[in-house]
Structure formats: C-alpha cells, structure tokens
Amino acid sequence: MMGRVTLRNLAAHKIRLVLTAVAVILGVAFVAGTLMFTDSMNKQFDDLFSSISEDIAVDVRAEKVVGGDDDGMSAQPVPASVLETLKGVDGVRDPIGNVTGYAAVVGKDGKIVGTPQNGPPQLGVNLTESAFYDLTSGRAPRGPAEVVIDEATAEHGELAIGDTTQVVTAGPPQRMKIVGLVDTGNMMGATVTAFDTPTAQRLLLKPGYFTDIEMKSAGPSEAELRDRVAAALPPGLEAITGTELREEAQSDVAEIMGFFRTFLLAFALISIFVGAFIIFNTFSMLVAQRTRELALLRAIGAARAQVTRAVIGEAVAVGVVGSTLGLAAGAGLASLLQTQMGDAGEGGLTLTANAVFWSYAVGIVVTVVSAYFPARRAAKIPPVAAMRDDVALPQRSMRIRIALGSLLTAIGAALIAVGLAGAGGNPAVPVGAGAFGVFIGVAMLAPVISVPVLRVLGAPAARLLGAPGRLARQNALRNPRRTAATAAALMIGLALITTVNVLGSTMRASIDEQINAQFGADYLVQAQGAGGVNAEAQQRVKDAPGVVAATPTYGGEVKVDGKDVFYVAGDARVITEAARLKIVSGSAAAGPADLMVDEDTAKDRGWEVGAAVPVQFPDGKTERLTLSGVYSRSDLIGPRLMSQEMHLRHTLNPTVDIMVVDTERADAATRTALESALQGYPNLEVADQASLKEDARGQVDGFVTFLTILLVMSVVIAAVGVINTLALSVIERTREIGLLRAIGISRRQLRRMIRLESIMIAVFGAVLGMGIGIAFGAALQNALADDGLGVLSVPYGTLVVYLAIAAVIGVLAALWPAWRAGRMDVLKAISTE
C-alpha cells in the first residue's frame, strides 16, 4: 500500500520534485563530467605512450641524479660514442639516438605558434625511422636549412610546404624551409619541429650527443637485454626496459590527472553540498504541507516506519531520475571540457563503470540523506493530528540549535586554524573539514541571525514600497528556519567565491608590494618558453643605446642533503643590487665556489657564514661550496644564489633565463631601443616594474576567474533552491494569497511582494556568505603572510557587484512563483484548505 502512496505523491507533486531533481542533476553532472573527462584523458595518454614506445625493448639514458631531470629536455645527454658501443652488444637491434629539446615555429603573423607558457610542450626532435609520428607529405629534412613541422602547427601558423619560416631554439633564431609535414596523432596539443640529426644536435643539445638511445631486441627478453646493455655502458648511464619507460610516463601523467581530478571533484562536492540544503528544504516543506495527509495515514494504521519509507521512497525516485539525467549532462560537460583542451581533446569520450557507479551513488545517497530528517519528522506525526484543522509539525527548541551551531562553528574555525598553521599532515584535510563545520554551524545559526538582518534589509522596502514591502518582510521573517535553509545554499557559494576574490586581491596587492620592494633593476629581458636568451641576443642587449650593463642569470636544480632544491645563478653583486637583497650576515662578494642562502634556509639547516655545503649537480659531481652570505627572504630570487662559474662548470648546455639590464635612464626611448634590438627574437620580451606587475596581475586574474567559474555552479544550484522554496511557499499560502486579493491587493502588488521576499532571502544569503568569505580570506592571508601574502586586500567594489548579482538572482528566482501567484483564481484560493 505504501508503495502506491509513494507513487501517487510523486505524481501529485511533479513540478516540486522536478525542481528538486535539478539540484541533483547539476551536482551529479559535475561529478560525472569530471570522472569521464579525466578517464578519457588518461586513456588517451595511455594509448599515446603505448604507441610511442611499443617497439622499444631497452632505453639508455643518463642516471637521474636530480629528480627534476626526468623531462628528457634538461637531463644530461648521452655521448654519441655509446651508440657505436651498443651496436656490438649481442641481442641489440636497430639502436637509434634521439635528440629532444625546445623548438618553436613562428607563424605568418610573426608570433610563436602554440602557448609557450604553462601550456603543452614545444618539442624539437630529430626525425628518425622509429619516430612516433608519420611523415604524411613532403620529405625528410636534409641539411641545416630544412625542417619538418606537425600538421596542426602548420594549420595554426598558416604555413605550408615550401614556406620559409623562423624557428626559435635555445640558440639564435633560424630561417628554415618547411619540406614536410608529420601527423603526430593526439599529442595533447604539443607542437613538434623535426630536423635531421646533426642539425638537431647542434640546435637542441650539443654536437656529438643524444638525449637517449633506444633499441629493439633481436631475441632476448627486455630484462635480459637490459642487463647486457647495462654491462657495456660507461659510468653515469643507465638502461631501462621499454615496459619501465612506458610505466614511468604513464605514472607521471596519472599523478597529474589525479591532482586535476581531485581539484575538480572538490568543486563538484561543493555543488552537491549546496544541493543537499535544497533537497532538505524541499522535503521539509513537502512534509509540512502534507502533515494532515500523513496523520491520516497514521490514523488508518500506517506505522511510523512505513511513513518514513514512503517519504524516503520519493527521495530515492528523485535521486535515480536526477542521477540518470546528471550522468547524461556530465557527458556533455566532459565533451565541453575536451573542446577547451584544443588538439588535446580530440581522442573521444570514455565512459567507465567508475563514472556510472559514483554518479548514481552520489545522487541517490545525497538525496536520501537530505530527505531522511524530514522523513523522520513525518513519521512522528500523531494520528490524532488528522482530526485537527490547524495541523503543524512540532518545532525543536532554538536553544539546542544555537548551542550545536556555535559548537560546530567553533570546531570548524579551530580545524581551519590547525590546517593553515601546517601542524603536520595534509593541510587540505583539516581546512576542508573545518570549512564544512563552519558552513553547517552558520547554517544552524542562520535562523537566529536572519531575524535582525532581515529586519534591516527589509526596512527600506517596508518604508518605501508600502504594503507589498511590509508583507514581503513579514513573509521572510515568518519561518526563519526555512528562510535560513534557502539562504544557506547561496551563502556557501558566495562565501567560497568571496574567499577566492579576497585571496586574489591579496595576491595582487602583495605582488605589487614585493615588486616595489625587491625590483631594483631598470629592465629584465626574459624568454617565453624554454629557449632562454641566446648569446647573440645577449650581445644585442649589451650593445643597445643607453645600456650600462646587462648580466645573465640562470636557474637550476641540485641535490642538497639528499633533497632536490632549486637555485638561481649569476653575478652575486649584480643580482643583490637588482633584487635589493638585504644582507643579514656575510657579504655579496661571492666567489666561484661560494653559495648564498636566505635566512629561513640558513636557520632550517643550521648553517652559518663559512659553513661548507656539499652540493650534488645533475652531472653527478659533488662540490663543497662555502656559505658566503645570508640574505633576507626574497620572492624574486628564492632561497639560494650560486655563482655563474659554478653553474656553467656543471651544465653542458646552459640556458640564460633572464638578463638583468641597467641603463643610463629608464625612459621610453631606452625601452624602445631595447625592443628594437630584439626585434628578430619573437620569444623575448622586455619587462620593467610596471609590466612585471601587469603580467603578475594577469596570471592572478586568470586563476581567480577560473575558480570563480567553477564555483558558479553552486550559485546556480542555490538559485534553483530559491525558486523551489518560493514556489512551495506560494502553494502553501494559497488561501492567504486569495484573501489578500479579496481585500484589494492587485496582481502587480502581489508579484512585487513575492519578488521583494525573494530579493531579501537572496541578499541575506549573500551578506552571510560574503561575511564568511572575508573571514576565510583574512585567515588565509594571515597564515600565508610569511609565504608572500603580506598585504590583506578586500575587493569591496567586486563584493558590491556580487551583492547586486544576488539581488538579480532574487528577482529572476521569483519570476515563475510570482507569475503563478498572480494567476490564481481568487475564489478557488480562498476555498483552499
């Protein structure tokens, strides 16, 4: 019998439950889309690496001394003489030397094709018979003036076979003729520029060297051949099997995609969390409106458990339908994400059992859990209540709610403080748990907070708009629990968006302060991409009119006390002045075997000036450097500064990262002279203090915008919640609305009343959320003050815009409920029980 009751209730409340299902659909779509997208990308990478190295039995490369050298482009090279040695090893077939490095192609518009910064790699390679790409048109390059590029690069750069274009590498730009095109398959957006082997060695590595040497097997197993090859190798080189090579590549990608999946799923869970408030609110209102009906069921013999199961049954149905539609919407979202990946997203969509399982699990479980407490309240309705005209669900005391809400808020704040203080473990866990606790706690306290806040927010409407304004405020205050539950959904989304914007504004202000305090040079010349500033460009900078001095700086990675660490290398005196380093002890008069570190590093290591520091370089050699100076923290230089001589001694193919330029006068004419000197180098740019700030702000703004877009989903779900609550409230107040119409209130005034009520609820949620967001942002800034976020900045202008957007959300959310209320038949509304 109760099963039929459940089905009847579903049929009787289709619109209400459809609105509830929207929250489930949107939340599940985010989860399903994330899982399908990352599963698809993982499969594409797996297929790519399998196809690239499927014929490789053994690969020879330099031993990895420093962990960062596993990218194949900065690792120590393999002498070409090793290739001849390997040809004599029994079982080795077709050994081939590979050359890999940085190379980019300039398109017809004079700009580099691709995205050199924070984008897919721009690969320069030697064209070999075992290459992972196929020559589809033209021929292989022959000689130093010919090149082959991939088809996607040719299309994006509007280039064709026979064209002469500029190729940018670590050396001077080369004018080369395109003689062929290759199909790289799905290379995830990477560009490929291929030369013959001697040209590739000269431009990308060093004559007489390879990045690695791969070979096939003439019979022995991979492991057996690996051991034979390893026995013939000189010190400093290692042999690994093709299987190990593929597993390494897949493991690296899996780690990156795993982080990306966790990142997106965090936002999906936020959307689901917001949706749970809506589901809880909807079922609470449905139960409240059906109190007499449920009491009659109890009166005719239905047990409490049966009533509970009836309501839970409705929740399961909503969860199943919402999960199914959410899974379909997730496929669309995953496809959209793939299109944003450009060439990297052309491998098709992969649907796995993992995505299906978690979509239904999340959708159904969240819906059922959210509906459980309203279901229990429904079961507690006494049968005798069916005989009364004024049936109402009993309300719990606010004292328990206030006490529990305060406790959860305090515990949440404490967990956030522990996480931000870095008291061991993964800080994301206590911070996430703390934020969850704060949201739940504030949501429980919201009914108490709502009364004074809504009185203030509603005062202008009540005074200026007459009866509709007064009625709207009274309606919002009539049921503080419901109003708070509706506003809480919007509160969460806007709290997180506000936190992100406060953090972004703080980062911009802190970066500006750092550049003002630490940037002492007139100009910097830096490269876009991995090519660096080549020797010819360095000389042009030095010869530019008005330039007094131009000093190269380098970056590298070494091993200190068994840990991989980064450093900057160059003329210590010049860098000290350019970065306005404050010397705490020792001096900046660093010799070739000296090292300078910041205060934190010296303190953590227990080093003092004069200490001997063993440093192991990527070439495997170890030097004992003398600590010559300690300086205050510098975000521009970092914690370690080494001499240029030491860096060059252990780097086979050094790359200048930045040129520090001092001039007679830092004015427009000098900058124009520098830019003119570098006109033939499309990968180099001249930066001063203002442009550095602008670039930094652009990166921060992009990051903030990206996070805000991800959080908008939760705001959309919250808007659906406002619509749902108002629609159910209009149904609940049918008779009241009829009486208002009967005593003379017009349809226009009625719609205005509902719009104002919606605006008050939305603005209340926004005010609550932005208050929490500012507190979260201030806590983050305080915790990260020593890590570069020294200036707290609250973007009040942006927050005012968000408050206005919340009011607009309130207006839009009220359109349908207000329209429905205005169309009610007065007589039928009055006669409604």
Cβ–Cβ under 8 Å, residues 29 and 720:
no
State both tokens at 393.
């669900």
In DSSP terms, which residues pair with 505 in a beta bridge? Answer: none
Cβ–Cβ under 8 Å, residues 538 and 550:
yes
CA-nearest of 291, 340, 336 to 311 is: 291
State both tokens at 722.
């406002």
The more confident residue out of 262 and 623 is: 623
Burial class (CB in 10 A: 0-12, 13-18, 19+), 204: buried
- Report the distance separating Cα 575 and Cα 638, nearest Å: 12
- Report the distance separating Cα 578 and Cα 571, nearest Å: 10
From residue 586, give the alpha-carbon distance in Å to each of 327, 596, 610. Answer: 63, 9, 8
- Report the distance separating Cα 594 and Cα 631, nearest Å: 14
Q: Return the SS3 of 156.
A: helix
The more confident residue out of 688 and 262 is: 688
Q: Return the SS3 of 178.
A: strand
pLDDT at 78 (0 to 100): 92
pLDDT at 647 (0 to 100): 93
pLDDT at 612 (0 to 100): 93
Half-sphere exposure of 36 (CA within 13 A, CB side): 26
Rounded to the nearest angstrom, the gap between the alpha carbon of residue 281 and the centroid of all alpha carbons in its chain is 31
Amino acid residing at 23: A
pLDDT at 41 (0 to 100): 76
The more confident residue out of 617 and 727 is: 617
- Report the distance separating Cα 120 and Cα 137, nearest Å: 24
Angle between helices 291-299 and 304-340 (to 10 degrees): 140
3-state per-residue secondary structure call for 555-621:
EEEEEECCEEEEEEEECHHHHHHHCCCCEEEECCCCCCCEEEEEHHHHHHHCCCCCCEEEEECCCCC
Burial class (CB in 10 A: 0-12, 13-18, 19+), 399: exposed
CA-nearest of 34, 753, 779, 757 to 337 is: 34
Torsion 724-730-733-734 (CA) sign:
negative
Q: What is the pLDDT of residues 529-543, one digit of tens each?
A: 777 888 889 999 999
**Does pLDDT of 119 surpass 70?**
no
**Does pLDDT of 11 surpass 70?**
no
Q: What is the pLDDT of residues 405-427, one digit of tens each?
A: 899 999 988 888 888 876 555 67
Average pLDDT over residues 799-817: 89
Cβ–Cβ under 8 Å, residues 120 and 191:
yes
Mean pLDDT of the chain: 84
Name which of 97-101, 578-582, 706-710 the model is least confident about: 706-710
Average pLDDT over residues 47-73: 71
Name which of 184-198, 448-462, 581-595, 610-624 the model is least confident about: 184-198
pLDDT at 721 (0 to 100): 78
Name the pLDDT band for 73 (thresholds 50, 70, 90): very low
Average pLDDT over residues 539-555: 91
Cβ–Cβ under 8 Å, residues 647 and 592:
no
Name the pLDDT band for 273 (thresholds 50, 70, 90): confident
**Does pLDDT of 391 surpass 50?**
no
Cβ–Cβ under 8 Å, residues 654 and 644:
no
Burial class (CB in 10 A: 0-12, 13-18, 19+), 658: buried
**Does pLDDT of 698 surpass 50?**
yes
Q: What is the pLDDT of residues 99-117, one digit of tens each?
A: 998 899 999 988 888 765 5
- Report the distance separating Cα 304 and Cα 310, nearest Å: 10
Count H helices and E strands in the chain, helices first. Answer: 24, 24
**Does pLDDT of 604 surpass 70?**
yes
- Report the distance separating Cα 493 and Cα 499, nearest Å: 10
Cβ–Cβ under 8 Å, residues 522 and 691:
no
pLDDT at 720 (0 to 100): 80
pLDDT at 309 (0 to 100): 80
Q: What is the pLDDT of residues 147-195, one digit of tens each?
A: 999 998 999 899 999 999 999 988 888 899 999 999 876 555 678 999 9
CA-nearest of 122, 105, 170, 72 to 653 is: 170
Render the burial of 613-651: b for 16+ CB within 10 Å, e for the rest.
bebbbbeeeebebebbbbbebbebbbbbbbbbebbeebb
Cβ–Cβ under 8 Å, residues 750 and 737:
yes
Angle at CA of residue 699, ends 695 and 701, nearest 5°: 110
Q: Please, where are the H alpha helices in 88-180?
A: 151-156
- Report the distance separating Cα 484 and Cα 555, nearest Å: 54
Cβ–Cβ under 8 Å, residues 795 and 503:
no
**Does pLDDT of 398 surpass 90?**
no
Name which of 218-232, 497-511, 722-736 the model is least confident about: 722-736
Q: What is the pLDDT of residues 216-251, one digit of tens each?
A: 999 899 999 999 999 999 988 999 999 888 888 777
- Report the distance separating Cα 349 and Cα 36, nearest Å: 7
Name the pLDDT band for 70 (thresholds 50, 70, 90): very low
pLDDT at 259 (0 to 100): 76
Q: What is the pLDDT of residues 747-760, one digit of tens each?
A: 888 888 988 988 99
Residues 6+ apart with CB under 8 A from 808: none
The more confident residue out of 453 and 51 is: 453
